Structure 1
Amino acid sequence: MTPTPKQPLTDDSIKVRQVSHYQFSWVAGESGKPGTWTLQLVLDQGAWEELLTLDGQDAENLQALLSASATVFYDVPRRTLMFGTTASGQH
């Protein structure tokens, strides 16, 4: 038995996508105010893009996780990054 997906299947119906590329940017704040970090995610080789606004600590932590993970997924509706995959029973 093969499940029949709800039709039509569109780009918007895909909820979890693989991060293909990413780019951090920093935008200066007003004089004397802190700036803002952004993280642009390119998903599924450009099929979707997402822009996240971050504080400095989050940007630093995400840079470390993104550079150390071979595979990263992004859940679009939940705005959640998932780092790496591990097969059941593996450590």
Structure 2
Amino acid sequence: MPEVPQPVNDNTIKVRQLSHYQFSWVAGEPGQNGTYTLQLVLDQGAWEEVLTLTADDADALQDLLVNTSVVHYDVERRTLLFGVTPAGE
């Protein structure tokens, strides 16, 4: 049997399921663009992540999040995974 690094805790889990998300926009200096952020609530609040986005990225991610029922997030690589398909389908 392979050895599993101990202890297994919240910091050792690398891929988590997206539970909730919230987009925010912060105004920039006068004459400058604002900044979009996307807060990810993962595994029912066991982990949270905040991403800084361009307006185009925020628009594209909003479309993907609305149209995908199961989304995962790789914490280590900071990567959203859309459209997870069960093995054998």
After TM superposition, the runs of 4+ consecutive aligned structure 1 residues lying more than 6 A away are: none
Give the fraction of aligned pairs with identical amino acids, expressed as a percent: 64
TM-superposed deviation, 1:7: 1.1
1:54 matched to which residue of 2?
A: 53
CA RMSD after TM alignment: 1.3
What TM-score do the two structures reach when normalised by structure 2? 0.93
Work out the CA distance in 2 between the residues paired with 1:8 and 1:89. Answer: 32
How many residues matched? 89
What TM-score do the two structures reach when normalised by structure 1? 0.91
Work out the CA distance in 1 between the residues paired with 2:86 and 2:10. Answer: 27
What are the within-5 Å matches in structure 2 for residues 1-91 of structure 1? 3-88=2-87, 90=89
Work out the CA distance in 2 between the residues paired with 1:85 and 1:11. Answer: 22
Gaps of 5+ in 2: none
Gaps of 5+ in 1: none
How far does the alpha carbon of each residue in 1:19-78 deviate from its partner, in whole angstroms, 9 at most, with x for none?
Answer: 000000000000000000000000000000000000000000000000100000000010
